[in-house]
Every structure is written in C-alpha cells, then in structure tokens.
C-alpha cells in the first residue's frame, strides 16, 4: 500500500441478523470447504458432523436476504468495478445466482416505476443511470467441473447445464470467460464462485467481494487480496481508490489471526491493511474538517455559507472565494487536493454514506472547484453542474428535506459561471485595461486572461514548433508573480503586454506573405542578421520545399515513410536538394547541415505522431 502497489481494503458486516457466531468450528471443517470437488466421504461429513453450521449457512430465507442486499449494494457503489460472490459450495453459488438474477429484474422494474412517478429531473436522471448500469451487467457462475454434475444439481432442484456451457464457451473474439471478466470494458461484472478464482487470480478492476463462506488463514488472506489490485481504469470518472469486502458470514472475526500469521507477523491493529468501512467515514469527516480549516485560514468562509439554505444560489460569494484562491497557484492546487480527497472518500463510502447527510458539504467543495476551473480551464462545465446537482439531490432525498429541494431546484443547472473567452485579433487592449481597474475580482480577471493565453499559445505551438520562447516567457511571468516578485496590477500588465506580442506573432505569417506551414519552415531555416535579399531567398526555400513535398511528383511523403530507413533517406535527400538549390550562398556547410537536420527531425516528429502535413 505504501508503495502504491495495492489499494487499501475496507470491510463491513451486512445483514447482521443472520451472522453466525460459532467460534468452535474445527480445522477439518475449513479444510473440507477449501476443496471445491467434495468426494462422498467429505460430503457425508458436512451433512452429518457439521450439519448445524451448513444448515444455517444455506438456509433459504438467509440466502434470500443476502441476494436482496447484493442487488441493492452492487449498482449503488462509488466505483462500479467488478464483483465476486463467494458461497459455501457449488450448489449455493448457483442458487445465489438464480436469486440475484430474479431480484435484479425486480429491482429494475421498481426503479422504472419510480422514474415514471418522480417529478425531479435530477432524481430521474440518476435513477435512469442506475437502470442503465443494471441492464448492462452480465453475471455468471464459475465452478469446477465434476463427474455426474448434472444429476447432482438436478437432485438439488438446480440446473448447471447453461452455466457449464457459458464457462466452456469462447466469445466471437475467441476469448473465454476468464478473459472477459478481466477485461475492464466487458459487461461481465458479477461472478458467483465457491473456490475458483480465489487464489492466484488477478482482475484489477475487481473492487468488491461478497463473502458468505467460512474461511481462515492463508485462504482468507488470498481471497481478500483479489480486491486490492491497482488499476488506472476509471468508471464514470471515478477512480479505484480501495477495495471493499462485504462480510455476510462474519469471516473477519478470523482476520486478526490471519494477518498476524501471514502479513505483519505481530499485532498491529492501527496499521492493519484491512479496516472496517466505518474508518472510511471517519476519514471523510477528517478530510472535510481539514478542507474547511484550509479555507478558513485563507478567509474563504465555506463552512459559514453552508448555514444558509440557498447557499448554492449565492454565486457572488463563490466568485469571491474563487478570486481569493486564484491569487496564488499553490493555494489553488492545495484546494484541489482537498477536494479530490473529499470526493474520492465520499465515493468510497457509497452507498451507506447517502444516509449520513454529507452531500451538501461535499457539494460545497465541488461547487467551488467548479467555479475555479470554469475560469482557469475554459471548459464546458455542464458535467460538473450535473454532478453537484445530483450530490445535492442525494442529500436532500435522504434527509427528507423536500422544502430545500424545491428551493434549490432552479439553481442546480446554473451553479457555475463560465470564464471569458476572446478573439485575439479583436482584443481592445485599452478597454481591457480600464475594465481591470474597475473589476471587483481581479484574480478572476487574471485567471480568465491567463487561461485564454495558455490555450491560444498551445494552438500556436501546434502550428509552429519554433514558438517555444513564447511559452518560456509566459511561464516566467507566472513564476515571478507566484514568487511575490510583482504586484497584481503589474502581473496583469505583464500579461497584457504578452497578449499584444502574441497577437503580433499570430499575424506575422500575413506580414511575411507566407502560410502558417511555410512560416514554420522559414523560422527553422533563417539565421541571425539576414539581408533583405537573403530573407527573400529563405522564404522562397520554405515555399519551394513545402511545394515539392506535398504537390510535386514523384511523391516522397508516401504512406508511413517515417517507418522505413530507405523512405526516410528519400525524404532527406529531397529536403537537401531543395535547400541546396534555394538557400543563400552565405550558408556554409555546417549551417546548411544544421538547417537540414532541423527540418528533417521536425518532419519525422510530426509524421510519427500523425500530425500536420508531414504525416
């Protein structure tokens, strides 16, 4: 965990009224259950010597409650990764599959009925997303084959044939069931097992284990480790930050002993790699408190505004908060860390957190983050608005605050104001300077201008790779301000002067009588202190080279030319031939070689990345 090689694990006991507390289960009982293919003698022992335990574990009403709980829990988690249901034996695994399938369809019908009746567009959209997820989920049973298994399952009132066919079948791509489950994008999401896939099996997006089988020692340790794998695969923009084990049998009464024997080697409750899920709620509370404290130290009174019912209509207050945090890049970045942590923990606490009334506090941090990002990233913030609106709706629905829900409804779709945008060629610099003097939130004005400049400069660098000095100059202006080397007013003026120079550069190709691509080649080919005649010859060389490469026959920029040494040599030769003919005589051999190298390496880079005319 410290090295980032695994994610932390959290467990919770659910359906407590059916937990089994027998501490006297023998070692033999566990050993028999570890063997998936029980012989007749082992089966007899289970039915005779351990009849009481097996009867309680497999009791139908108990399994029904667990199946209902899985149906509720699985589609309402934060990170919707893959799940594994671990049952006591093969028969119970198939029985649980049947129950979950039946209740799953019932739940979809109930949700559709709720959707048709709800008046809240936000709630309706959230429920529709839940239904969409549930409809997409595929489930399967994975158990080992056994001689005469069809007769054995039939005797239990169950059928194994369709499950066996699914386990043995390859899909249209030639992939088996294990490959499908490990594929993050495949809809096979929930698998029912009793012993298979519990050891030596890695599916990184497996995030939830449902345990309903007596386990101890190394078997328990290896089983829970199925959920701690790291993955970069995001689901609905949510990252996997932890694994979750749902314990229906009270397996975790054995966890301390297992950790002592197979993990830490000593009692280390505080550093246990597996903690109760209630620890997540404590971490969420701590993160929220630390976030509020960080804001309070910078006069961002986020906690205080939450005392007002119409807090998310107070756009002006949040603009003021954003202006404060935008005054310093480190403040803004630190706030983002707090918000990321709070949001991640909130997602990890689902679905139970929906009953804790934390939605509004989390939404406040996301709301402020959205206001800030609308200015600095100049992006469409509709997705952020919907996310926060759903958070607020979750909070008020759980707490039954219908009045608040009505009051906030109109605000939810316009909670974030979008930053300014400009057309560089039409900017009135005198007007902008005058507006800045009158602006209430000067740091927001700067953030808007800076975001525009960074985006425009990125586009201009894509057009002409020689403009790196502009990028360096802009970063120097930003660094000087962050280091306290200039006032807010001087910072804005430096950005305005940079904007004027950037416009001059943006229009330079017109003054030079060149296209953007010709200008880029001209910039690569020119040298310091050229005469007017030399300048014209270099422009001619840039134009001639581009014309030869793109329009003349025989073609030299053939498909994938950069992948083959021979075609590379052909292109290089064409570049040298044109430049040797058109560049001024004052270019000596060393300078000529340098310019040919610069042009060829730029072409090679563009072609290998599928960019521009060189591709």
Does position 590 have pLDDT exceeding 80, yes or no? yes
CATH number, domain containing residue 244: 3.40.50.300
Is 242 contained in some domain? yes
Are both 151 and 207 inside the same structural domain?
yes
Separation of alpha carbons 579 and 197, rounded Å: 65
Are both 257 and 351 inside the same structural domain?
no
Task: Indicate the length of the chain as a whole number.
Answer: 615
Mean predicted lDDT score pLDDT of the chain: 85
Does position 152 have pLDDT exceeding 60, yes or no? yes
Are both 380 and 448 inside the same structural domain?
no
- Which of 21-25, 188-192, 511-515 shows the lowest mean pLDDT across its residues? 21-25
pLDDT score at 490: 95
pLDDT score at 341: 94
Is 344 contained in some domain? yes
Residue 311 DSSP symbol: G
The SS3 call for residue 212 is coil
Are both 501 and 542 inside the same structural domain?
no
Are both 439 and 501 inside the same structural domain?
yes
Mean pLDDT value across residues 291-301: 95
Separation of alpha carbons 317 and 307, rounded Å: 13
Are both 174 and 214 inside the same structural domain?
yes
Does position 416 have pLDDT exceeding 50, yes or no? no
Closest CA to 79 of 291, 227, 248, 270: 227
Does position 409 have pLDDT exceeding 50, yes or no? no
Are both 247 and 128 inside the same structural domain?
yes
Q: Which residue has the tokens 């794998």?
A: 229
Confidence of residue 191 (pLDDT cuts 50, 70, 90): very high
Does position 304 have pLDDT exceeding 80, yes or no? yes
CA dihedral 491→495→496→502, nearest 10 degrees, is 160
pTM: 0.77
pLDDT score at 83: 97
Confidence of residue 403 (pLDDT cuts 50, 70, 90): very low
Is 29 contained in some domain? yes
Q: What is the end-to-end Cα distance of the chain in Å, rounded?
A: 44
Q: How far is CA 584 from the centre of its chain?
A: 54
Cα separations in angstroms, 333 against 328, 337, 338, 458: 9, 6, 9, 21
User: Last residue of some domain: 273, 291, 318?
Assistant: 273
Confidence of residue 540 (pLDDT cuts 50, 70, 90): very high
Are both 285 and 269 inside the same structural domain?
no
Cα separations in angstroms, 208 against 10, 20, 78, 223, 234: 10, 21, 11, 11, 15
pLDDT score at 225: 86
86 strand-pairing partners: 193, 211
User: Last residue of some domain: 475, 506, 537?
Assistant: 506
- At 202-218, the pLDDT tens digits run 899 999 999 998 877 77
pLDDT score at 43: 61
Is 174 contained in some domain? yes
pLDDT score at 95: 96
Would you list the DSSP string of 537-593?
HHHHHHHHHHHHHHTSSS-SS-TTGGGSHHHHHHHHHHHHHHHHHHS-TT--HHHHH
User: Last residue of some domain: 477, 506, 535?
Assistant: 506
Are both 114 and 88 inside the same structural domain?
yes
CA dihedral 28→29→34→39, nearest 10 degrees, is 80
pLDDT score at 121: 78
Does position 53 have pLDDT exceeding 90, yes or no? no
Angle at 389 between CA 388 and CA 392, to 5 degrees: 85
Is 41 contained in some domain? yes
Does position 412 have pLDDT exceeding 50, yes or no? no
Confidence of residue 136 (pLDDT cuts 50, 70, 90): very high
Q: Which residue has the tokens 């509370």?
A: 285
pLDDT score at 220: 79
Is 222 contained in some domain? yes
pLDDT score at 380: 55
* Contact in structure between 518 and 546 (CB atoms under 8 Å): yes
Are both 172 and 237 inside the same structural domain?
yes
* Contact in structure between 18 and 62 (CB atoms under 8 Å): yes
- At 66-113, the pLDDT tens digits run 999 999 999 999 999 999 999 988 999 999 999 999 999 999 999 999
Are both 331 and 373 inside the same structural domain?
yes
Are both 322 and 407 inside the same structural domain?
yes
Is 224 contained in some domain? yes
Share of the chain above pLDDT 70, in %: 82
Task: Identify the domain containing residue 211 by its residue range.
Answer: 9-273
- At 453-492, the pLDDT tens digits run 999 999 999 999 999 999 999 999 999 998 888 899 999 9
pLDDT score at 289: 96
For the chain, how many structural domains are there in total? Answer: 4
Confidence of residue 404 (pLDDT cuts 50, 70, 90): very low
> The dihedral of CA 480, 486, 489, 490: what is its sign?
negative
Separation of alpha carbons 201 and 191, rounded Å: 13
- At 353-401, the pLDDT tens digits run 887 778 889 988 988 998 888 888 755 556 666 666 666 655 443 333 3
Is 89 contained in some domain? yes
């Amino acid at each position: 965990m410290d090295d980032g090689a695994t994610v932390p694990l959290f467990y919770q006991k659910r359906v407590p009224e059916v937990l089994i507390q027998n501490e006297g289960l023998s070692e033999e009982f566990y050993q028999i259950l570890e063997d998936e293919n029980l012989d007749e003698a082992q089966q007899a022992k289970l039915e005779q010597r351990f009849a009481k335990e097996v009867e309680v574990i497999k009791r139908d009403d108990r399994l029904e409650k667990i199946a209902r709980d899985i149906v509720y829990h699985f589609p309402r988690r934060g990170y919707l990764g893959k799940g594994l249901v671990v049952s006591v034996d093969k028969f119970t695994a198939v029985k649980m599959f049947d129950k979950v399938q039946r209740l799953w369809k019932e739940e979809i019908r109930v949700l559709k009925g709720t959707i048709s009746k709800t008046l809240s567009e936000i709630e309706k959209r959230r429920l529709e997303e839940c239904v969409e997820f549930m409809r997409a989920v595929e489930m399967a049973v994975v158990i080992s084959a056994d001689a005469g298994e069809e007769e054995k399952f039939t005797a239990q009132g169950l059928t194994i044939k369709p499950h066996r066919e699914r386990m043995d079948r390859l899909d249209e791509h030639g992939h088996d069931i294990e490959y499908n489950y490990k594929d993050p994008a495949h809809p096979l999401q929930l698998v029912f097992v009793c012993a298979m896939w519990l050891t030596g099996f890695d599916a990184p997006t497996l995030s939830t284990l449902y345990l309903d089988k007596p386990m101890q020692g190394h078997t328990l340790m290896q089983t829970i480790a199925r959920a701690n794998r790291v993955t970069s695969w995001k689901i609905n923009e949510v990252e996997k930050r932890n694994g979750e084990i749902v314990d229906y049998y009270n397996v975790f009464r054995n966890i301390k002993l297992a950790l002592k024997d197979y993990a830490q080697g000593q009692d280390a409750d505080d550093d246990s790699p597996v903690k109760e899920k209630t620890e997540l709620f404590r971490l969420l509370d701590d993160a929220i408190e630390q976030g509020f404290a960080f804001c309070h130290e910078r006069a961002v009174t986020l906690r205080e505004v939450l005392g007002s019912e119409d807090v998310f209509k107070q756009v002006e207050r949040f603009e003021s908060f954003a202006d404060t945090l935008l005054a310093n890049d480190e403040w803004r970045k630190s706030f983002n860390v707090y918000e990321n942590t709070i949001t991640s923990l909130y997602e990890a606490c689902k679905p139970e957190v929906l009953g804790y009334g934390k939605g509004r506090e989390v939404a406040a941090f996301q709301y402020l983050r959205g206001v800030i990002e609308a200015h600095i990233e100049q992006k469409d913030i509709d997705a952020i608005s919907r996310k926060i609106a759903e958070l607020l709706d979750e909070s008020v629905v759980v707490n039954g605050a219908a009045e608040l829900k009505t009051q906030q409804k109109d605000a939810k779709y316009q909670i974030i104001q979008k930053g300014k945008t400009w057309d560089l060629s039409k900017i009135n610099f005198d007007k902008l300077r005058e507006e800045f003097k009158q602006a209430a939130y000067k740091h927001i004005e700067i953030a808007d201008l800076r975001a525009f400049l960074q985006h425009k400069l990125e586009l201009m660098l894509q057009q002409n790779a020689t403009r790196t000095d502009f990028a360096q100059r802009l970063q120097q202006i930003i660094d000087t301000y962050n280091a306290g080397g200039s006032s807010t007013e001087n910072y804005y003026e430096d950005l305005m002067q940079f904007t004027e120079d950037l416009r001059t550069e943006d229009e330079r190709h017109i003054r030079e009588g060149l296209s953007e691509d010709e200008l880029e080649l001209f910039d690569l080919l020119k040298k310091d202190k050229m005469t007017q005649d030399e300048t014209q010859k270099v422009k001619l060389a840039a134009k001639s080279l581009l014309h030869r490469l793109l329009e003349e026959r025989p073609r030299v920029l053939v498909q994938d030319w950069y992948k083959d040494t021979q075609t590379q040599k052909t292109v290089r030769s064409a570049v040298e031939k044109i430049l040797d003919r058109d560049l001024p005589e004052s270019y000596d051999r060393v300078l000529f070689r340098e310019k040919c190298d610069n042009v060829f390496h730029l072409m090679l880079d563009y072609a290998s990345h599928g960019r521009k005319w060189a591709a």
